[in-house]
Amino acid sequence: MTPTTQPIQAACAEAQALVRQVLTDYRPSLTLREMGEVQSVRPGIARVTGLPGVRADELVYFPSSKPGGTPLLGIAFNLDPDEVGVILLGDSPDLQAGDRVYRTERVMDVPVGEGLLGRVVTAMGEPLDDRGPLNFVERRPVEHEAPAILDRAPVTVPLQTGLKVVDALIPIGRGQRELIIGDRQTGKTAIAIDTILNQQETGVICIYCAIGQRSAAMAKVIATLREQGAMDYTVVVVAAGQDPLGLQYITPYGATTMGEYFMEQGRDVLIVYDDLTHHARTYRELSLLLRRPPGREAYPGDIFYLHSRLLERATHLSPDLGGGSLTALPIIETQAQNLSAYIPTNLISITDGQVYLSPDLFQKSIFPAVDVGKSVSRVGGKTQLPAYQSVAGDLRLSYAQFQEVEVFARFGTQLDEQTRRTLERGRRIRAVLKQRQSEPLTAAAQIAILFAVTSGLLDAVPLDQIDQAQAHLAEAMHRDLPDISAAIHQGQPLTEADLKTLAWTLSQALG
């Protein structure tokens, strides 16, 4: 034996001793797994047999039958006596009849945690922003029971959108469900994004959930959020229009689960669903492929439950549970201003009010194109900052009277002086309620502008100079009246002395 072979033989002896030890301690065991077989495959779904113990909404696993292929997950959706209808959660070019399928004995879940802030992800938890793997705390099921009535608290804190027309006339509270509804290309997403941008100093966590949107539109939204510094407190959950139907179906539920994690920690969360029209159509397509009985407009019978179980999870928790809130802003698209269509009426009945965007106002370059007459907030009025009620209490009525008088004024009839003043005041109210995109205003700046227009300080200002006047008013409010501004943000009402000081300061700012 040469000196060079001694270490090799010693290593071999050590390895043999280790193998003998492992074989001595090894106790073989059997693992029971339910295995089924794929019977047929269609776009987005598969029909399988041989899974007698599978449960509703359970994940099933399709291993790839081709070398180097990608395995696939699906959700057991239809539990028929002879077969199981499965919603596929990915592309299935390699899946075919005869392939095997296994139970996973778990439901669909998503990652949650602080590490998701600033990230762009799918509902499966896959990052889309090239920033490495996600840093999450745990995974939670996408479907979760809504809080019980006794676990909820009244909606008492306002959610400022930064838009004068919404905060003054259609206020939203934290924990409310406010529907944004309107025809295509009327600025629905713009209102939601402006609301997210306005939460920069409020501590509200924001989640933007895109369902079935074009990739170019989503890229534009993400770029806006990054440019404005809003991604630091925002999670973007994406299911593009070209993604599988199953992924689009579970995306809003997964995004809500991500938001509930922060709500249970006592924090306030805002979630935007853009939009639920695509979600309803996706569900209809899946249901028809699975041969579920169609109902009105070919939607399945449980289409109402599809969105009610989603939006009921938005609430304000009681103090015993941390006092967190989840505010939902679902977006819905109408056709030809038809508010009585099936899906819009379903969502209107579920939510606590709606912000209606009119294509007629949009064509007149009135942005945001909010129709005040058809918009309502059934909860937010109780949460509105008291200062708004002091300066804009009669604003809705005055604006409605102006719109009615304006119709008759078009006929060229002679108008008395009071009617002329109503028209001039109304035109300035309409000009004041206009607002550029991505330029939200603080509550104090809004109060200054609304007080000026309702008290007549802007009556002498030409319409083409209203924007400049508003800038002067907002600047004067923050520069000259810091105490009143702080009192407004703290929820204190304006006293008579405050109103007099406000009137004098703003009149000086207008020259």
CATH of residue 66: 2.40.30.20
Res 168: pLDDT: 94
Contacts (Cβ under 8 Å, ≥6 apart) of 169: 372, 375, 392, 395, 396, 399
Q: Which domain holds residue 329?
A: 110-384
- Same domain for 241 and 334, yes or no, is yes
Domain CATH for 405: 1.20.150.20
Count: domains in the chain? 3
Beta bridge partners of 48: 38, 84
- Same domain for 78 and 162, yes or no, is no
Res 3: pLDDT: 56
Domain CATH for 117: 3.40.50.300
- Same domain for 198 and 307, yes or no, is yes
Res 4: pLDDT: 58
- Same domain for 84 and 135, yes or no, is no
- Same domain for 52 and 133, yes or no, is no
Contacts (Cβ under 8 Å, ≥6 apart) of 468: none
Give yes or no for a contact between 63 and 100, defined as CB atoms under 8 angstroms apart. yes
Give yes or no for a contact between 230 and 394, defined as CB atoms under 8 angstroms apart. no
Given the residues 33, 55, 106, 378, the one annotated as active site: 378
The one-letter amino acid code at 267 reads R
- Calpha distance 61→35 (Å, rounded): 10
Question: Phi-psi region for residue 266, left (φ > 0), alpha (ψ -120 to 50) or beta?
Answer: left
Domain final position from 106, 133, 159? 106
378 in catalytic set = yes
- Same domain for 280 and 305, yes or no, is yes
- Calpha distance 299→288 (Å, rounded): 8
Res 68: pLDDT: 72
- Same domain for 196 and 302, yes or no, is yes
Walk along the chain (511 residues) in steps of 10 and give the mean pLDDT of each run. 64 78 74 89 94 93 82 94 94 89 93 96 92 93 94 95 95 96 95 97 96 94 96 96 94 97 97 96 96 94 95 96 97 95 96 96 93 90 89 84 82 77 90 94 95 92 93 94 94 92 93 76
Three-class DSSP category at 467: helix
Res 2: pLDDT: 55
Beta bridge partners of 46: 41, 86
Query: Interhelix angle for 245-264 vs 303-311, to 10°?
Result: 30
- Calpha distance 476→428 (Å, rounded): 20
232: burial class by Cβ within 10 Å (0-12, 13-18, 19+)?
exposed
- Same domain for 343 and 274, yes or no, is yes
The one-letter amino acid code at 302 reads D
Domain final position from 106, 125, 144? 106
- Same domain for 317 and 355, yes or no, is yes
pLDDT tens digit string along 327-364? Answer: 999 999 999 999 999 999 999 999 999 999 999 999 99
- Same domain for 284 and 144, yes or no, is yes
The span from the first CA to the last CA of the chain, in angstroms, equals 107
Beta bridge partners of 357: 182, 370
- Same domain for 92 and 64, yes or no, is yes
50: burial class by Cβ within 10 Å (0-12, 13-18, 19+)?
middle
Contacts (Cβ under 8 Å, ≥6 apart) of 341: 334, 335
Give yes or no for a contact between 279 and 212, defined as CB atoms under 8 angstroms apart. yes
